[in-house]
Amino acid sequence: MKLFMLNYEFPPIGGGAANANLCLLREYARDSSLTVTVLTSAPEPGFFEEKLADNIVIYKVGIHKKSLHYWRRTEVIEWLFKASRHYSRLLGQNDYDLVHAFFGFPTGYLCYKTAQELLYIISLRGSDVPGYNVRLGLDYRLTAGLFRRIWTGASAVVANSTGLRRLASKFMTDLDIKVIPNGIDTEKFHPPDRRDPAQTIELLTVGRLITRKRIDLLLKAAHCADKLGLNVRLNIAGDGNILGKLKGIAGELNLAEKVKFLQRVPPEDMPALYRSNTIFLMASAHEGMSNAMLEAMASGLPIITTPCEGVEELIGDNGIVVQSERPEDIARAIKDLADDPRRMERLSLAAVEKAKQFTWAGVARRYLNCYEQIVKQKNKNRTSE
């Protein structure tokens, strides 16, 4: 099978979707019967070619990227305009069986324009689903008709969690949307041999510093935990456009000694970071399925989170879902765990076991099955014509 993959973000650009795409490609690299061409982005102008494996080539369309973790509208338009030319050229030079687009927009738009030539599937990741990102409210309204045509034209639309499918179904109630979750590399992310009791409770959150992640809520929760008499430190890994604002909030709450802004942590250092912390926190308003939460689980961290897409699949007896958005309630959950070491240990062990259910090999198999069904049906239709 010859597969064409599109994603407007790819490491080091982007977040969970970029990482998921890379992990999926690493699984595809093991399959010699599959050849993959990837068209994505680079953070500086130019056109770059990289070979991930003998059967995988990545082409990167460079744009004027201001921040690796935040997309301006002008950057999206720039990538779409520049990538369109390379997309058409690659289609003309290769006889692909299928194109797989990460994000219904902007990448899905390129596939939609060539749907008569090549069938496509879409992986919904979050921001491409109306209602997901408050910042994009006007954009969703202006592009609703186009989104519907792109989704309807796809041979398959796949969400990465039941919650994201539910949100997408509110937008298109009659569309059959599949669910294929994210995965986790449990060899790379694993618990330490032992966790020594520490005087400081190390709280970790990982993600882009954008409004949707609600890091401000976690800062206030750390402040409340401190007032409850807990010796906590909140470690924040990630970069984004509201870093200055968050530092200001930390200052106002007198948390200078209690908060550590780690900014962007190199991927190779992330496993050790998870293993050095005590509890993983998340308060996102929306997620597709959090890669960071999966990484934390595989590393043996109990989870404290507010409800969002992906949580119903990931959190059971391995964490606490705080149903309110009150920082006091998040702080109380932290204290409940800190006061009960045996419960903390049970949640830690359960987190590791839960993570084992989500492997990238399993994700790859499900996508490959999806591709094969579509190609098989396409060939059957051609034969019957």
**Model confidence at 312: pLDDT above 70:** yes
Tell me, what amino acid is at 301?
Answer: L
**Model confidence at 384: pLDDT above 70:** no
pLDDT value of residue 61: 97
* Exposed / middle / buried, residue 294 (Cβ in 10 Å: 0-12, 13-18, 19+): buried
pLDDT value of residue 366: 96
Which residue blocks in the chain are alpha helix, DSSP H? 16-28, 73-93, 107-113, 137-153, 162-171, 215-227, 243-252, 270-275, 291-298, 311-314, 327-338, 341-355, 360-384
Residue 67 contacts residue 76 (beta carbons within 8 Å)? no
Q: Which residue is it, tokens 């490491």?
A: 11
SS3 state at 190: coil
What's the CATH code, domain 2-183+359-384?
Answer: 3.40.50.2000
Look at strands 303-305 and 279-282 and give their pairing.
parallel
* Residues 160-173 pLDDT 10s: 999 999 999 999 99
* Residues 76-128 pLDDT 10s: 999 999 999 999 999 999 999 999 999 999 999 999 999 999 999 999 998 89
- Of 103, 143, 96, which Cα lies nearest the Cα of 122? 103
- 288 vs 79, more confident: 79
Residue 330 contacts residue 223 (beta carbons within 8 Å)? no
**Model confidence at 382: pLDDT above 80:** no
Tell me, what amino acid is at 143?
Answer: T
CA gyration radius for the chain? 21
State which H helix or E strand residue 50 sits in: strand 46-53
Domain 2-183+359-384 and domain 201-355, same fold? Reply is yes
Cα–Cα distance for residue pair 315/354, rounded to 1 Å: 8
Retrieve residue 136's tokens. Answer: 């994009």
Cα–Cα distance for residue pair 356/273, rounded to 1 Å: 20
Tell me, what amino acid is at 287?
Answer: E
Domain boundaries, the chain: 2-183+359-384, 201-355
CATH class of the domain whose range is 201-355: alpha beta
Q: Which residue is it, tokens 């897409």?
A: 309
**Model confidence at 385: pLDDT above 90:** no
**Model confidence at 295: pLDDT above 70:** yes
Retrieve residue 253's tokens. Answer: 């709450």
* Residues 6-21 pLDDT 10s: 999 999 998 889 999 9
Q: Mean pLDDT, the chain, as a whole number?
A: 93
- 244 vs 383, more confident: 244
End-to-end CA distance of the chain: 22
pLDDT value of residue 133: 82
**Model confidence at 197: pLDDT above 80:** no
